[in-house]
Structure 1
Amino acid sequence: MKTVLLTRSEEQNRFFNSGLAESDVSVLSKPLLQFSAYPFTEEVKKKVIDLDRFDHIVFVSQNAVRYGLPHLQDYWPQWPEGLMWYAVGPATALRLGDWNISAIVPETASSEGLLALKELTAPEKVLIVRGVGGRELLRESLISRGAEVDYLEVYQRILVPYQEKFDLDADSEIIVTIYSGEAMKRCAELIDNLECCTLVVPSMRLQTMAFEIGFDKVCLAASQRDEAMLETILQVISGVNFPG
């Protein structure tokens, strides 16, 4: 029997549990990362208060909206006039929509997709809302275009402290969902037989990284949206999608 290993939080896994209910697979939930609010320091507060200094504000994840918007709303009951809002992908845009904010969304949900937007070709002052750490590509590329860029870091990632490696059936095909490089590295630490695993990832960057780490079978979903990831999982289960 095939096993699907879901590596995000229980809340985020609900869609997949429902979508896989009628498939002949075993489903395991093993969150790799936990998220918590970053302390609201005076430095963070100053950036929130100075929101009207920026021309563009970019949210790079759903968690950026979840942890960032409450702070911004506390100090800005009315948003600065002329501020342009961006979401890295459709799911993040939906989160912003919950706050009645209409965001510009790239065709590809990634830093590269954001950088391809014409609105960010020659930006002036940009505020990137994100978690602590992460890729520097967006910031560095915008700076190279002449932009003034600052971070508003509103949450932090914490590795879930598993005491032992995952006890997985070596004779079973393990299908693993991975959404970030940090989660992938943690996954590789917790699984003994990487050759038993087929990863499902939402970007070519993660696919390349998986091969470099030592995974042999990696399938690329059309995007990181739940529907796209589930479609790829079901294709792997049925044998339609052959990992490479």
Structure 2
Amino acid sequence: MRDKARQDKAKQDKELVLKGQCILNTRPAHQQDGLKLLLEAQGAKVIAFPAIEIIEPETTDFHRSLIENIEHYHIALFVSRNAVDGAFRYLEPDKLPAELQLGVIGDASYRALLHRINLAEERLIRGHPHNSEGLLATSALQQVAGKNILIFRGQQGRNLLGDELRARGASVSYCEVYRRKKPEYGADSFAQITTEQFPTLVVFTSNEGMENLLALTNSRERGELLGITWLLISERMRESAINLGHNAATIIAANANDEGIQQTINEWASKQAV
């Protein structure tokens, strides 16, 4: 019986591909739980240290008039799940024009949108890969001359989407529905959560998250962080990581959602074990 129990435990440990790994999750606090559960189910220790805080912007007249003015737009685009959540603080699902096309970047944005409205497939615009370039490549955004397009995003977001759509003849407006800020921590907060085990991999989903984490740590901690594997969600982020001084391996998530990040980390860990 004891031999059988040992064999079962050995088999279970072998199946836990992330056993022994310590993953630092820097996503905003309200986006931590799903990934944490997936990684822990594979045996990882997960340390939560949000490097970005998502807060509401100052409400403007543009925000207040959205319900009435949304009918003037042909297309509304949401650049992230936070953009969907932020937009529907000002929009009412049952007051959206039936002919309004809705575009999203990423699976998380898509699911957040479906959670709020019943969306017919012909009204939906989704691109692959899940970034601005992928959305711009969709057939629905090729012939947009004369159309009014509204882009929901965070403050100081990328201008690529709007710039390219304007170049194609569209009239583009931005609606900034959330702000990012660097969280406030005590001087030794990072040291306290990494005392037992320093991370073997860090999950970043934005350039700002990388910058903030390095700013929130001391010189010794920064040196260690720059020397371990980082998971990123785009090649563009890899360039930023190099510019920040990261000198270890980077891996790019198959998808920016929880499942895509988990899959990529599992594949990375499997290679480490060989």
For the criterion TM > 0.5, the same-fold answer is: yes
CA contact (8 A) 1:203 1:223 kept: no
Tell me which of 236, 241, 246 is aligned to 1:210: 241
1 CA distance for matches of 2:212 and 2:29?
18
Where does residue 136 of structure 1 map in the other structure?
159
CA RMSD of aligned residues (A): 2.4
Cα gap change, 1:56 to 1:175, in 2 (>3 Å):
same
Offset, 1:234: 2.0
Equivalent residues in 2 for 1:11-22, closer than 5 Å: 11-22=30-41
CA contact (8 A) 1:57 1:85 kept: yes
1 CA distance for matches of 2:60 and 2:198?
48
Offset, 1:173: 5.4
Where does residue 103 of structure 2 map in the other structure?
86
2 CA distance for matches of 1:106 and 1:137?
15
- 1:79-104 deviation digits (Å, cap 9, x = unpaired): 22421111111211111111224232
Residue type at the aligned position of 1:89: G
Offset, 1:50: 1.2
Where does residue 126 of structure 2 map in the other structure?
105
More helix by share: 2
Equivalent residues in 2 for 1:26-175, closer than 5 Å: 26-73=45-92, 77-102=94-119, 103-123=124-144, 124-164=147-187, 166-167=190-191, 168=194, 172=198, 174-175=200-201
Where does residue 13 of structure 2 map in the other structure?
none
Unaligned runs of 5+ in 1: none
Residue type at the aligned position of 1:12: Q
2 CA distance for matches of 1:180 and 1:202?
8
Structure 2 residue matching 1:156: 3-state secondary structure = strand
CA contact (8 A) 1:2 1:172 kept: no
Residue type at the aligned position of 2:203: T
- 1:109-161 deviation digits (Å, cap 9, x = unpaired): 11111111111113221100111111111111111111110011111112111
Residue type at the aligned position of 1:95: A
When the two structures are aligned, how many residues end up with a matched partner? 240
Residue type at the aligned position of 1:45: R
- 1:35-74 deviation digits (Å, cap 9, x = unpaired): 122232213223442111111000111111112123110x
Structure 1 residue matching 2:89: 3-state secondary structure = helix
* 1:182 matched to 2:239: no
Cα gap change, 1:59 to 1:101, in 2 (>3 Å):
farther
Unaligned runs of 5+ in 2: 1-19
CA contact (8 A) 1:4 1:176 kept: yes
Structure 2 residue matching 1:39: 3-state secondary structure = coil
More strand by share: 1
Where does residue 15 of structure 2 map in the other structure?
none
TM-score if structure 2 supplies the norm length?
Answer: 0.79
Offset, 1:241: 9.7
